[in-house]
Amino acid sequence: MADQREKVLSVNNLVINFKTDNGILKAVRDVSFDLYQGETLCIVGESGSGKSVTSKTIMGILANNAIIADGNIIYRGENLLEVSEDEFYKIRGHKIGMIFQDPLSSLNPIVKIGKQITEAMLLNADKLKLMYNDLISDDLIRYKNTLAKMNIAITTEQKKLDAFIAETKAKEGLTPEQKAANKALIQQKKAEFKAFEKKVRDEYMGKAKELKVVLTETEKKAKKQVAEYKAQVTDEYKQRQKELKQRLASASGEEKAALKQELAQLKVEFENKLSITKAEAKRRALEIMREVGIPEPERRFEQYPFEFSGGMRQRIVIAIALTASPEILICDEPTTALDVTIQAQILELINKIKAERNLSCIFITHDLGVVANMADRVAVMYAGKIVEYGTADEIFYDPRHPYTWALLSSIPDVDSKEKLEAIPGTPPNMIYPPQGDAFAIRSKYAMNIDFREEPPFFKVSDTHYAATWLLDEKAPKVEMPRIVSERIRNSLAGGAQ
C-alpha cells in the first residue's frame, strides 16, 4: 500500500494568499498531501484552482505579493518554508527540479542550448567543495533553521506590536486621560515584547549553541575527509605519472606515443576527480541529451532555442532539470502547449526517466486523460482546496466528489470521442471564496448544508478520501451521473484495469 512507502515530501495545511488591489486573494486554502518515494502524484483541477501556486511554494518561487499564511512543507525533516534562501537554493537546485508549462519561457533565447545545459553543472564545478557541502549540509541546515525560526517568531511579534501602536496612535477625539492611558498601554506592550524577545532568544540561542557545536565538529570531520580524498587522489595520480614517465624515458617510437597519450588521459581523469571541467560538462550534457531523446546531440548542442521544435525544447528543459540529479520532479502542465502526438511522447519520456532514475513526481494538469497515463495517485483540487484524493483507480472507478464527477463527465470519451458535458458555471472569485463546499453553487447535488458548512474529509478507503457532505451518513443516497457510471462500466468491461 502506498502509505507504507517512504514519504519524500509532506505538505501540511498550506495557506497561500495574495495581496491584490481588490483585496486578499485566497489561492491555496489548507492543502495537505504526501508524496511517496517513486510515485507520481497528479494534481488535477480547473484553471485557477491553485495548482501552480502550490508547486511554486514548494520551489520557493512565489510572486512578491504572496503571503504564506500557514502550513509547512517537510522535506528530509526540515520545513522548506523556514530554511534560509541559501539553503532553499541548494535544496531546490539540487534535489527538487521543476518543469514548466511553456518551454520557451524557461530557456534563454540568445544562449546556445549546450551552454544552457552545462551552465548549472559548471556553476557547481568544484567537486571537493560539493563533497564538503554535502557532508555538512544536514547539520548546517538544522543550525540555520533554528536561527530562522527564532527570527520569524520575533518579527511576527514585532509586526503585531507595530500594528497595535499604529492603531492606537491613530485613534482620534480622545480625552487627555484616555491618551495617557493609551500611552501607558503602549509602554506596557513594548515591555511585554521585550520580555518575549528575550525569552525566545534565550530558548533558541541555547538550542542554536548546541547545534553549532555539532556543526563545528561535522565541519572538522568533513574537512579532514575531503583533504584525505584529495591527498589520496593526488598520490595515486603522482604515483602513476611517475611510473609512466620512467617508462617514457627509455621508450621510443610507437610505445612512446602511446605512453604520452596515456599520460594526457591520466591528467584528464585526475582533473575530473577534483572538478567538472568544460569537457566533462559537455560529455555529460550530451549523455543527458541522448537520455531525453534528442537526435544528433553534438550538432544540437551548438544550436539556439528557436532552432528547436516545441517538443524538442521541452526535452531540453527536462534535460536541464536532470543535470542536477533531482530526487523530486515537479511537472506543471508540461505538455499543455504541445500538440497531441508530441504530448504523448513527452509523457512517455517523463515516465521512462522517472522509472530509470527512481524519481518521485508531482504532475500537475487539468487534463484527466493525461492523469490516466501518468498517475499512481490523484489529488483533485477545487477553489484552493483538495476535495478528493485516492489511487488512480479509486478516482477513475469510484469517484465520490461531485466535482470529480463533473471533471470525469467533461473529458471526451476515448472510444466514441463523444463530447461530454462541460462543467456548468464559472470558478469562484477567490477574493470572496464561497462558504461551505465551494463547488455547491455549480453542483446539482448540493444540499443546504453545503452552502453553510465546509465538509470534512470522509474516508472511503485507507487511501481514498473525499470532502463532500454526500458521504455523511445522514445524507440521502445519490448516484453519480449516468454518463460517468456508464463510462466506468464500459472501461471495466473493455478490459482496462
Ligand X SMILES: Nc1ncnc2c1ncn2[C@@H]1O[C@H](COP(=O)(O)OP(=O)(O)OP(=O)(O)O)[C@@H](O)[C@H]1O
Residues near ligand X (CB under 6 A): 18, 20, 25, 27, 45, 47-53, 63, 65, 366, 430
Residues 438 and 427: their CA atoms lie apart, in Å, by: 9
Q: Please, what is the minimum distance in Å from the beta carbon of residue 380 to Mg ion?
A: 15
At closest approach, how far in Å is the CB of 209 from ligand X? Answer: 40
Provide the Cα torsion 264, 269, 274, 276; round to 10°.
100
365 binds Mg ion (CB under 5 A): no
* Residue whose CB is less far from ligand X, 441 or 460: 441
Q: Which is nearer to ligand X, 117 or 407 (CB)?
A: 407
116 binds Mg ion (CB under 5 A): no
**468 counts as binding Mg ion under rule CB under 5 A:** no
300: helix, strand or coil: helix
Residue 50's binding partner out of ligand X, Mg ion, none, with CB under 5 to 8 Å set by partner kind: ligand X
With contacts defined by CB under 5 A, name the span among 45-53, 150-158, 163-171, 191-199 that binds Mg ion. Answer: 45-53
Nearer to Mg ion, 53 or 286 (CB): 53
The option from ligand X, Mg ion, none interacting with 27 (CB < 5 to 8 A, set by class) reads ligand X
CB of 379 vs Mg ion, minimal distance in Å? 14
For the beta sheet containing 7-20, the strands, ordered from the edge strand earlier in sequence to the opposite edge, are 23-36, 7-20, 66-75, 78-79
Residue of 17, 40, 49, 52 that binds Mg ion (CB under 5 A): 52
> What letter represents residue 387's amino acid?
V
Distance CA(368)–CA(45), nearest Å, equals 9
**Cα–Cα distance, 311 to 346 (Å, whole number):** 7
Instruction: Kindly tell me which of 57 and 443 has the beta carbon lying closer to ligand X.
Output: 57
What is the distance between the alpha carbons of residues 155 and 149, in angstroms, rounded to a whole number? 10
Which of 337, 288, 375, 347 lies closest to 41, judged by CA? 375
Q: Which is nearer to Mg ion, 150 or 364 (CB)?
A: 364
Provide, rounded to whole angstroms, the least separation between the CB of residue 52 and ligand X.
3
CA atoms of 218 and 226, how far apart (whole Å) = 12
In angstroms, give the least distance from the CB of 68 to ligand X.
Answer: 13
> In the complex, what is the shortest distance from the CB of residue 369 to ligand X, in angstroms, rounded to a whole number?
15
55 binds Mg ion (CB under 5 A): no
Nearer to ligand X, 353 or 374 (CB): 374
The torsion defined by the Cα of 39, 355, 398 and 341, in degrees rounded to 10, comes to 130
CA angle 33, 34, 40 (to 5 degrees): 105
136 or 379: CB nearest ligand X? 379
Q: Could you say which of Mg ion, ligand X, none residue 435 binds, taking C-beta under 5 to 8 angstroms by partner kind?
A: none
Shortest CB 311 distance to ligand X, Å: 20
Q: What contacts 393, CB < 8 A, 6 or more positions away?
A: 497
Place of cell 531523446: 293
User: Could you tell me the smallest distance in angstroms from the CB atom of residue 354 to ligand X?
Assistant: 21
- Give the CA diameter of the chain: 106
Is 335 one of the binding residues for Mg ion (CB under 5 A)? no
Residue 391 near Mg ion by CB under 5 A:
no
Distant-in-sequence, close-in-space partners of 55: CB < 8 Å, separation ≥ 6: 43, 98, 330, 332, 362, 364
**170/173 Cα distance (integer angstroms):** 10
Cα separation, 344 vs 310, whole angstroms: 13
Nearer to ligand X, 288 or 364 (CB): 364
Binding site for Mg ion (CB under 5 A): 52
